[in-house]
Structure 1
Amino acid sequence: MKKTIAGVDIPDGAVARAATDRIRATESELMFHHSLRAFLFGALTGYREGLTFDAELLYVGAMFHNVGLNAQHQRSACRFEVDGANAAREFLRQHGVSENAIGEVWAAIALHTTPGIPEHMSPLVALTSAGVHMDVRGARYDEFTAQQRDEIVQAYPRESGFKKKIIEAYARGMEHRPETTFGTVNADVLDRWDPNYRRLNFCGLVLGSDWPN
């Protein structure tokens, strides 16, 4: 892979290389390129805001953030983000990474679809979320220069129809466990994708609970 894109060095240590090999072998090109772009947008956000972060850990977080959507997890009872976080934890332990660092990567992946929380946590957690949301929904799009966006997309293209394809990928990874979407943006995905999907409603759960009053 190209070593430097939009002023960001792609991590090339043993852990980063192993993560690249793992994700390239197990995810579609669409998801692999999305993960790379998410890392780059996250790193650029960190540079712009003057944050201190471990680029290799951010890279692993970006690489693994959608692993929970893969076929082997589709019958899981967990949120896909938790499955991805668990996979990253196992991977990092195999490479001798400290438990503190592993916990931070776990939180970064587990919380990347939970709005309003990551930006108040550590830079790694905040930047993983920021990078993903920039690439998926254009969050803070205008805070990146046209040159930065163009260089990143030239290196790792957004294939034709990416917007609809990424929604489909999310939906197919969650359609067998719709209850896990409660309280996250994932409910929006299944609401659009599956005409039979019915959202859980917090107020309904409160009013319909077994408590007498």
Structure 2
Amino acid sequence: MKSDNIAGVRIPDGTMAREVTQLIRDCESELLFQHSVRVYFWAALLGERKGLTFDVELLYIAAMFHDIGLTSTYGSSQLRFEVDGANAARDYLRVQGIAAADIERIWLAIALHTTPGIPEHLHPEIALLQAGAGMDVVGRGYDMLTREQREAVTSAYPRGEDFKQGMIEAFYQGMKHRPQSTYGTFNDDVLAYKDPSFQRGDFCGLILRAPWSS
């Protein structure tokens, strides 16, 4: 595991961080693993930029687990992939004897990382995980970091030749067997992009078909 200083941020080098790194490397594709590490760096850098106080190790663990729900391990799950990742992190942290409040914070960070409008109002680790993921996937906060910071992180943990299409494909493979789990999130955009036959959920239709007389 690379533990050198990258753009002023270090990957935690404690036993728990090393174990989680190996666990995620063993079950995720190279694309998802590199993405998860970059998410940590973007999150930590944005946290420093905003002057936030956060637990570096917990943020790293949240970043490592945040997309594990997209892997084949969860190929039969009908939960939102974010919840699968949150549950996996919770189970691991419970075994490590981590405080319940910290576990809840990381569960929420992972479960809410694709839910806009809420994480930024919660604990820094929750807000920063979403910020880091948004930075890596859609470039949200891109101009808040310097070119030197961006280049340092992507040089150490490259995006590859076509990360954009690769990430869309990873989302699709992780969600195509549970399309109903994308309702109410922007994840349904992925299924609509990849599958022309996909039918989005319709909230107005649900209201109109409700078993009330008016």
Using the alignment, how far apart are the partners of 1:27 and 1:113 within structure 2? 19
Q: Which amino acid aligns with 2:103?
A: I
Using the alignment, how far apart are the partners of 2:26 and 2:75 within structure 1? 18
Using the alignment, how far apart are the partners of 2:15 and 2:109 within structure 1? 21
Give deviations 1:102-121, integer Å, cap 9, x for gaps: 00000000000001111011
SS state at 1:8 partner: coil
Give deviations 1:49-87, integer Å, cap 9, x for gaps: 111100000000000000111112122121000000000
TM-score, structure 1 as length reference: 0.98
Q: Which amino acid aligns with 1:212?
A: S
Using the alignment, how far apart are the partners of 2:3 and 2:56 within structure 1? 16
Mapping for residues 85-164 of structure 1, pairs under 5 Å: 85-164=86-165
Mapping for residues 1-213 of structure 1, pairs under 5 Å: 1-213=2-214
Using the alignment, how far apart are the partners of 2:103 and 2:15 within structure 1? 16
What is the aligned residue count? 213
CA shift, 1:180, in A, is: 0.3
Q: Unmatched 5+ residue regions in structure 2? A: none
- Decide whether the 8 Å contact of 2:46 with 2:128 is kept in 1: yes
CA shift, 1:208, in A, is: 1.2
SS state at 1:53 partner: coil
- Decide whether the 8 Å contact of 2:67 with 2:82 is kept in 1: yes
Using the alignment, how far apart are the partners of 1:72 and 1:37 within structure 2? 22
Q: Which amino acid aligns with 2:83?
A: V
Give deviations 1:22-62, integer Å, cap 9, x for gaps: 00111011111100000000001110111110000000000
CA shift, 1:93, in A, is: 1.0
TM-score, structure 2 as length reference: 0.98
Using the alignment, how far apart are the partners of 1:16 and 1:7 within structure 2? 18
CA shift, 1:19, in A, is: 0.7
Q: Which amino acid aligns with 2:22?
A: D
Percentage identity across paired residues of the two chains: 54
Tell me the C-alpha RMSD between the 2 structures. Answer: 0.7
Give deviations 1:151-175, integer Å, cap 9, x for gaps: 0000000011100000000011000
Using the alignment, how far apart are the partners of 1:133 and 1:177 within structure 2? 23
SS state at 2:158 partner: coil
Q: Unmatched 5+ residue regions in structure 1? A: none
